[in-house]
Amino acid sequence: MSGAQEAALAAQKKDIRSRWLLSAPALLIIFCAAVGPLFVMLFYSFMAKGDYGDVKFGEFSLDGWTSVLFQRDIFDDTLGLADAHLSIIWRSLQLSFFTTLFTLILGFPTAYFIATRPQHTREVWVFLVTIPFWTNLLIRAFAMQQVIRNEGLLNNALLWLGIIKQPLQIMYTDTANLLGMTYVYLPLMVLPLYASIEKLDFRLVEAGYDLYATRFQVLWRIVIPLVKPGLIAGSILVFIPSLGAYVIPRVLGGGKNMMLGNLIEMQFGSGRNWPLGAAMSITLMALVMIALIFYVKNASRGGAGHA
């Protein structure tokens, strides 16, 4: 190896070393603030339950993980399915899926409308979409409560129009949770879709019409494949926080229609079963990872097929 090559290699190693040193504070913060707590939860999930909360350090146990899906009979100590936990997990997955679906149904036309406005007015429409982020999530949940409660705006409007004879019981149901999450997470679907649609070459849409394609064919064969990255990004941004939602089911569900986030909080609070709460937290993270892998695989497969 020549002297010039050795000097270039040494300079490259020095550059890499300096980059690592510069990024070390950020990596340390990420580890302490994100990765560290996950390791704590993983550690707690394999410990025995404490008598008054906490865990018994040094006492290994798999009861936390077993209790996620199974429960012991109080008489003969046999294992059976934990129906309550399974129903909450299933409800969380269902509501997260339908929240993603409804935000997509409402968000796609909204994003398309904004992206097709004149350039000087698009910023105003995007600004209006982002206004809900100015208020706290709890305030938005209480605002939805005022809309759907028995004496709220929705029931009063339906009664005034003569569509219903008595108020609809929407509060403290899965429907209330679904409406609340759709309202709260709708901007997270609109913004990525708008970013993708804005970059769309509308000459391709015109070419589709020139080839006698119908509106549905243009939408399905041209627009959706080209804006698929935004669609996938929006779905991820909506599905993940919906799966771990805590505030909205607490306010609109009234504690009767719990989701996975509420169940985890209860184990660390009144349940005083930290190993089970930690195991459920890791389970929630695993469900999120499965959803991410599913979306990424579908995106790569769809991109290869479109190519």
DSSP secondary structure, 272-290, as one string:
--HHHHHHHHHHHHHHHHH
- Residue 257 backbone phi and psi in degrees, to 5: -110, 70
Q: In this predicted structure, what is the pLDDT of residue 101?
A: 95
Lowest mean pLDDT among 43-52, 72-81, 207-216: 72-81
Mean pLDDT confidence for 80-100: 91
Six token digits for residue 105 = 């149904």
Q: In this predicted structure, what is the pLDDT of residue 306?
A: 47
pLDDT for residue 307 is more than 50: no
Among candidates 304, 294, 307, which has minimal Cα distance to 96? 294
The pTM of the full predicted model, rounded to 2 decimals, is 0.83
Mean pLDDT confidence for 118-142: 89
Which secondary structure element, helix H or strand E, spans residue 102, and what is its range? helix 83-115
- Orientation of helix 274-306 relative to helix 36-45, angle to 10°: 120
In b/e form, how buried is each residue of 51-75, taking b as 16+ CB within 10 angstroms? Answer: eeeebeeeeeeebbbbbbeebeeee
Mean pLDDT confidence for 78-94: 88
Fold of 83-306: MetI-like fold (1.10.3720)
Quote the mean pLDDT of the chain.
87
Question: 8-14: long-range contacts at Cβ-Cβ below 8 A with a sequence spacing of 24 or more?
Answer: none
Burial of 276 (0-12, 13-18, 19+ CB in 10 A): buried
Q: How confident is the model at residue 255 (pLDDT cuts 50, 70, 90)?
A: confident
**Any residues with CB less than 8 A from the CB of 73 and at least 6 apart, and which?**
79, 80
pLDDT digits (tens, 9 = 90+) for 219-230: 889 999 899 889
Mean pLDDT confidence for 267-293: 88
pLDDT for residue 94 is more than 90: yes
pLDDT for residue 305 is more than 70: no
Q: In this predicted structure, what is the pLDDT of residue 174?
A: 92
